[in-house]
Amino acid sequence: IRDCDPKLVEVATVFGYKKWHQFRYVILPSAIPSILTGLRLGLGYSWRSLVAAELVAASSGLGYMILDAEQLSRSDVVLMGILVIGALGAFLDYGFLWAIRRYLKRGIEA
């Protein structure tokens, strides 16, 4: 919201926009790219935290499979589990970026 150009807010005031309309039509659209970027970064951090938690204290799932395969010296399963985790993370990131580009009227470069 701090990134909103004060001149745009001033123009909205001159045109008689009430505070709610200023927020809805001027401030929020200028803040949406920053909000969505924050959500995208948060998605990445939460994915890493999920994988780390699963590696530490899970009794099922990809993290458990990787740790179990590591103890049994099954490097093929370990590598495949790591690749699946990476592919899912990339898929989530690209899916979120696709949604941003599709639903945001202005284009976002990433």
Is residue 62 a part of any domain in this protein?
yes
Is residue 99 a part of any domain in this protein?
yes
Is residue 110 a part of any domain in this protein?
no
Residue 87 is predicted with a pLDDT of 94
Is residue 43 a part of any domain in this protein?
yes
Is residue 48 a part of any domain in this protein?
yes
Is residue 54 a part of any domain in this protein?
yes
Tens of pLDDT along the chain (110 residues)?
A: 677 888 888 898 999 989 999 898 888 888 888 888 899 899 989 988 988 888 888 788 888 888 889 889 999 999 999 999 999 999 999 998 888 887 776 655 54
pTM: 0.69
Residue 105 is predicted with a pLDDT of 64
Total number of domains in the chain? 1
Is residue 96 a part of any domain in this protein?
yes
What's the CA gap between 47 and 38, in Å, rounded?
14
Q: Which residue pairs, CB below 8 angstroms and at least 24 apart, start in 41-48? A: 43/92, 43/93, 43/96, 44/89, 44/93, 47/88, 47/89, 47/92
pLDDT digits (tens, 9 = 90+) for 42-66: 998 998 898 888 888 878 888 888 8
Residue 78 lies in domain: 32-103
